[in-house]
Structure 1
Amino acid sequence: MSGRGLRVELLGPLRAWTDPGERSEVALGPARRRAVFAVLAARANQEVTRQDLVDAVWGDEPPPTAVGALHTYVSGLRAALGQDRAALASGRASYSLRVPDDGVDAAGFERSRLIGTRLLGAGDWSGARTALTGALALWRGPALSGVPGPFAEVERRRLAELRLGALEAHARAGLELGEHTEVLASLSALVAEHPGHESLRELVMLALLRSGRRAEALESYRDARRALAAQGVEPGPALRALHQRILHEDPGAAAVAEVLAAGPVRADRITRVRDLVAGPAGWDRAFSEQHPTVVRAPAARRTPDHPTPARSSTPAPPRPTARPQPARPRPASHFLGRTEELALLHELITDVRAGRGGLLWLEGDAGVGKSALLAEALSTAPGCRVVPVSGARGLFGDLATAPLVAAALTGSTSPEPLVLLVDDLHALSEPDLLMWHRLATTALAPRGAPLLLLAASRPLATGRVLPRLRRAVRVRGGHLLTLPPLPTAYVAALVGHVVGARPGASLLDLARRAGGNPLFAERVAASLVRRDAVRVVDGVAEVDEVELERVPTSLLSVAAGVLEPLSAAAREVLRCAAVLGPRFRVAELGAVTGRTVRELLGALDEAVAASVVVDPGSGEELAFRNACLHRALLDGLPTTALSALRRRAARALSTLGAPPERIAAVSG
């Protein structure tokens, strides 16, 4: 008979049944026989070699009788399966356990978890929560409870990490659905169990913040920092960024957003708005110095025939000389390429000078050159008032720019066209994002003071508001521009500028490895210069290969920011891929993770969409976009876990018949 009725439970004590109707439980026998069955069930419908089974059950030092004992255990399992004994099939030097597609609870958990994380990424909070609830309901306790052997130990940790990721995603979906109190209750036990897990700490802070408990959110950060310090580490970039956002977020921002959402901010409501955004830093004083209590009428449309906007009869008060003034973004000393993007920006600047507003959303990975492009374009914007705003500080976080942002929100006239640049838009709080939406509406209005609104954001940002704003930009006729990787020729020229000579073969290789990310190439090249590792012969600069492998620490935090939006499941798969090297085959990754290609597709699709992994064009391999991302994934692993993962990867490559030098490279 086949294994049509075989059902296996791994998510708790190991159990199996041969008849789904009668629920006839299989007597799996003593501990090591159960360990053999656990390996075969975890890799159901796949051939597992005898050597892999020996390694999985006994580890690196099996007894001389291991192969004979394995044969005895398999025979005992077949006898226990009874009429379903054919489900445990033999090959030339391997075994496999045949079960239905839904026959193993761990596989069902991973499928439902993957569906849930995909729905979460697509913004379907309710669907994500339903799928993740179903996935988590399959657990009955610690996975493979009571099963001995190194495989069971590694698989137990892997499944526990996936469960933790599913719980985290479930909590994130609950937050997006507004269930802040329920999420806090469920997270408290998880944080107690995993005090060093920063993503859980971040969710607790968000839940507290969205519940209006700002002081408790700040105390939660201090508690997280103490817990991490006890482990000898500092909070990571994501947790620090959230802490800064909470520190600088205006306590009245949500109320301001509510007022703005009600419609245009006219003269009869400006006092209310101004009072709401007034904060302890004296923003209300700065606003009143710049603008009168009654807002002037909107300016006449600026056209070539009417170059000067109409002014209100209400005189503007003199500008205080002590007021801090916003500084324009400084252009890069050596800007290259991006001619089409620059042409579009120059066209928008020309339009706003002629009295026509505009809107551009610039999207791209960290370090790809968004800020440099905008700074270069705005370096030649005569006759415009350029107001740079940092998303990390918020729309009203800078005393120099806050009054000008408020003026744009309320439609106040300005003696010169206003260009408002919001860098790191993804870092804005939700209330600030709603106000940014009001600014976007103002910029595209057919009448009013001319405003050019520019925004730079990273891709794959999560949350309720940001994806909707992105869609609104496209629907309303704004410009939605994704900044692609910089061509390698330009990256090579940038490297040459940094080292002060024509790049040789090794530095051209650095330019290729940068994956079109100029920040990566520039910082690595600058690090090489600081270490005196560059040698110039006949005007050509070269470095030793070993020097190229040393990634500056400052870049690892940039890479962490790129990896942070990925799901826990995708990061887990990518860590396994990173052990295989800068390039890897999907079949190799499947052997290391114990998953089929179909099961890996979700995580790989997510990584490709985030530009963490690219197709180098060979048709057979995938590659990390640059060495920084590859290194960041490995640096995040404890030494013992990395060593275990390298051993597992080496065994998997050996099973696939990989060349000895390939196996040696993976072994480290």
Structure 2
Amino acid sequence: MLGDRVLRAEGVRGVGTLWAGLLGPVEARRGGVALPLGSAGRQAVFAILAMGAGQVVTRTRLVDGLWERPPASAARIIQTYIGDLRRVFEPDRVRWTSGHLLRTTESGYVLDLSDDDVDVRVLDRLYARARTASADLAVVDEALALWRGEPLSGVPGPFAEGQRTRLTETRLALVEQRARLLVDADRAGDAAAELTVLTTRYPERESLRLVLMTALAASGRPARAIEVFHEGGRTGDDLRALHERLLVGTQPARVHSGYVGRTAEVAALRAATARPAGLVWVEGAAGMGKSALLREVLEGAPVAWCAVSERTGEVAEAQPADLVVVDDAHWAGENAIRRCLRWLAEGVPLVVATRPRADLAVLREHATRVITLGPLADADIATIADAVVRESGGSPGFATALVAAAGNVEQVAKAKIGSLPGVLVERLRRVALLGVDPTRAEVLATAPGVEWLADALAADVLRASGDHVRFAQRSVQRILVEGLPRAVRVVLHRELAKDLAAAAAPADLVAAHLLDGVAPMHGWASDWLADNVDALTPDLAVRLLRHAVDQDSLSAHARTAFTAALVGLLLAGDPPPPS
């Protein structure tokens, strides 16, 4: 697939343009034809020139890049390599003249290639985009598709060795980013499957294990995530914190999707995929909700999701799964159609979703079940309209998106959250845990900094009303909270309790977070409770005191005092039911 992409790209640029490939065996291609670079030394010189394409690469840099201890003849060897490369790149060049593609300057050499002509330059550009908060899976997949093997494979010298290290680190970082995006897209099972092999290969890489543990926990396998914690080497603060979270909680129930209508179609797809076999064909015009139907029925199931690329017409190879789902098949090219036919021939159950397209008949004729999506019933449209009024919070943009998503509130809320910078989302998660109508002081105590709050207000995620702050759409707040694993919420509640206590927030608010966080009642928490027990409402005081005296870590002095206070409260009135 990558080779095809290279050929297509070179066809666009013209047969005279050189393409440099370093993400695998070093290659130079013109018009899709590989040029003979020759010895490993020549490949090393070409790699250094290509990495610095368009800029002067000094002779000293070339020598240092090829040898730890340069031989006395280093300059002459470099000059020979340059001459050999010129004969390969420009065979019609007049001898003893500087070439047009590989030019000589006073201080070194310039290889005149654009950034698009060097795969590492393309990678660096995509990697920069992938690291932004707005990056999507397509960007990361495009970057990962550039790899053809070990970077600069077989090329000697300090430069090649350093670049292999850097580029391998870049690839691992992209794989980790892809896994995070899969988890955010509720495809944690896919993320875990892809990371398992890599963590075995790189057991000392903490960040890789951290993402794998997160993916396993999010896919409902916290016990396996805990095993991964014990299988590796070093355990840093982040790994230990996640391990603690996993030990104290389980994953939350999934938020209701808000999916509207299509009762018969939902039932038909569920029945057809309960025991996967053959090909289920889901067909409908643009905007009829094919993808939404697939998510409603199959999200969270052990399936491999494969969307066809609108740009390339290709479909990725599926991960092992009970069922392969191919969405947007109306973009499929010949290769994608052949791959689907091959899967069917191999006995792989398929669900294909597509707009009607005549030349897909060769695939459609194999369908064991066809589900056609027509217009929604008037009653379902009315339900969508009610959701728009109820959930939009008066935002025209949110209302429009709800209409486009057929009333799928979760989809629109997640899209709004996904459009925000990651740093802002982390602060908003803390605010979401504060409840419906926190004060500005409480918000800033738990997420300091007025700049982010101004950004959240400007983006109409939060709205200010007097001294209070609330979410513009309750669904955004709900998904920010319920989208967190239970174990992560526990830790965040503990942090919020400490921040609120330091800001002298109302005692009942601090106590509620201590209880939600199943907080250890020693240190600052014990001191705070001793100072504030009389300020708590009786029921909340009883719950928190019971929580405290049940803990082995409580000091003897504090246990005696808290037990006395608890007995006093219980004797003062009817005891509340056990929590």
What TM-score comes out, normalization by structure 2 length?
0.44
